[in-house]
Chains A and B, each alone.
Chain A
Amino acid sequence: MPSTNHSNGLNGNGNSTLIETRKLCKSYFNDELETPVLFDIDLTINKNEFIAIMGPSGSGKSTLMHILGFLDHHTGGEYLFHGKHAQEMDEDTLAKVRATRVSFVFQAFNLLPRASVLQNVMLPLIYHPTIPASERLERTKKAIEAVDLTDHSDYLSNQLSGGQKQRVAIARALVTEPEVIFADEPTGNLDSTSGIQVMQALQELHSNGHTIILVTHEQATADHADRIIELFDGRITKDTNKFKTRKAKRENSLKK
């Protein structure tokens, strides 16, 4: 597992703010027709949180995640990342943020079909502005090792099972050591065993200091997270932080 420079402690709350949204709105425009999907989202996410965004399909949870991950633009309100306004970033800055600060794990894996595991995991590094080419292979191998796929490095991605594919996607997401890893229904296309493996991998990333934001509609998946944000019809209906309970439990068990 690649070490990170981020805070390694579990005291996520009260730590420095990573993401902040104020009355964030999103509408899709089809010709003249406006279809609103997110309303007045107020959200503060700190470094090293493990968050699950839950909600039925159509609730806007994926859209919210895409906006937070700089893949989509919001149409109202404010989105601040490290205190910087997202709407003020130009195309190249957005590309740089995507290359260095955030990464995604998709439900549909989105691997390059005719490329090997190694090539797939290495892909983000060729767009990384600061990591030198000489470090690529080493970093790639480390990331593959972190998801236990070293034996499969030379396999083509379409020779892998669903669970293996998603682990490749996770390796690809962590190879640049981003601050936030977004996961959009990462277990949605997987059987339960593979799903558990994938969630364990994400949890390990979290314990190594990464901020994890995942979208799911499965309670079992969401239970891995420390904080669950529930969305319904484009609005936050519930925001529960289980962190303190957990911490308390752990401290109790240590006392015994």
Chain B
Amino acid sequence: MLLRDLFSTASKAVTVNRMRSLLTMLGIIIGVGAVVLMTGVGKSIEGVILGQIDFMGPKTMAIFPGNDGPEGGSTTMRPDFDALTFDDAEAIDELTTVTSIAPVVFVPGDARYGREKADPRIIGSSPEYYLNQNIETSKGRFHDAKDEESSNYVAVIGSEIADDLFFGRSAVGKRIELADRKFTVIGVLKPVGMVFFQNIDDRIIIPLSTAVNMTGRSHADMFTLQSTNGFEIAFADVRALLRQRHGITVPEDGSTDNDDFLVRSAAQAEQILGTVSISLTVFITMIAGISLFVGGIGIMNIMLVSVTERTREIGLRKAVGAKRRDILLQILIESVFLTLLGGLIGIAIGIGIDFLLAKTIEKFLAEYQFAISIGAIFLALAMATITGIAFGIYPARKASKLHPIEALRYE
């Protein structure tokens, strides 16, 4: 018997009973569809986060005052707003593993231009901030050391603030009011959207010295810094230096419990993402395994029914010369046909929903890109095929062993 005959016989058997075939495949369809959808969504989210980490730069670190409590314990913040001094920043800048550092002072207040009003985050920082945060302008310039020296009232504004105050008209050179002081706009930032689920287009950056003058703060609200290649070494260096300067005794277990500062890095986030991604993959594979197993049982059940129903037909096929192998392969191919077709339908539905979802989310989160995991699709197809064989073999063997005359007499 030719392979072509086997396929045409199997496909006929599947298409004759369309509703039943569809219901039989449902378990496989849902299982495979869910896997394709979930891996696709996972990949999209990963893409968004990786994009943001990339944007921040893998060597970017931030130091915050305070402590978020013992690791793995309660996460109640222990704020200590005066923990980081500008001297700390200078000391850190001396470290060979740190290439640049920018202390940050936040200035509360709103922004006004004529009758227009916006609600920005006003950031006072040194010119290194632009480098550390990987910021680019679309118009104008950043503030420089001169502005810093003379505590100029100049501002670099985020794209959203520019839109809110100027509606697309030129902003550079205009005088705006920040926290009731007059500032000159010297630059507008390129729009970047969300970074780590935070809008950063609403920033206004002013010279650090100006911010210190306005607020009277003698401490930094945070440091941003860039490290050399080995971020983990820089991480340890910075931590050791600050502990030494702050006179912190490290507990015996080496934990950060006694620290009055927090060090965070983009690379750290990337590591966490990697861990999450692996557990997500394991989780999805388990779901796929369970649903394909359940789907497989459904297939086996219906194949047994189908073999029983067609006992006479199988008897006839044997009477006209079908070998055991012919019958075995016919039923097996039928079963694989069902699981594979179910798998393909599942993939189509999974991709379809994934696509619609991506198109919807894209409206709120521009970085969310439609993505599918090719690996997951092939894995799903392979598993569907294996399911078809594994759960088709018993009914197929049963059919192939039928005695021709007994099968023909079957009522």
Contact = CB atoms under 8 A, between A and B. Distances in A.
Interface of A: 66, 71-72, 91-92, 95-96, 98-100, 103-104, 106, 110, 112, 114-115, 123-124, 126-128, 133, 172, 176
Contacts of B312: 110
Contacts of B321: 95-96, 98-100, 124, 127-128, 176
Nearest to A72: B405
A115 B325 CA distance: 23
A100 B321 CA distance: 8
Interface string B370-411: 000000000000000000000000000000000111001000
Nearest to A132: B2
Dominant SS among interface residues on chain B: helix
Contact of A127 (B12, B317, B404, B405): B317
B401 to A, nearest CB: 10
A161 to B, nearest CB: 20
B5 A126 contact: yes
Contacts of A133: 2, 4-5
Contact of B318 (A95, A96, A103): A95
A64 B403 CA distance: 16
Nearest to B322: A127
Contact of A123 (B315, B317, B403): B317
A127 B326 contact: yes
27 contacts: A66-B405, A91-B324, A95-B318, A95-B323, A95-B326, A96-B323, A98-B320, A99-B321, A100-B321, A103-B320, A106-B408, A110-B316, A110-B408, A112-B313, A114-B16, A115-B12, A123-B317, A126-B1, A126-B5, A127-B1, A127-B320, A127-B322, A128-B321, A133-B2, A133-B5, A172-B320, A176-B320
A106 to B, nearest CB: 7
A95 B326 CA distance: 10
10 closest Cβ pairs, A-B complex: A99-B321, A124-B320, A127-B321, A95-B323, A126-B5, A98-B321, A71-B405, A72-B405, A71-B404, A127-B322
B241 interface: no
A57 to B, nearest CB: 14
Contacts of A112: 313, 316
Nearest to B16: A114
Contacts of B324: 91-92, 95
Interface in B1-17: 1-2, 4-5, 9, 12, 16
Given A71-B404, A127-B1, A91 B319 contact: no
A95 B316 contact: no
Interface string B58-92: 00000000000000000000000000000000000
A158 to B, nearest CB: 13
A154 to B, nearest CB: 16
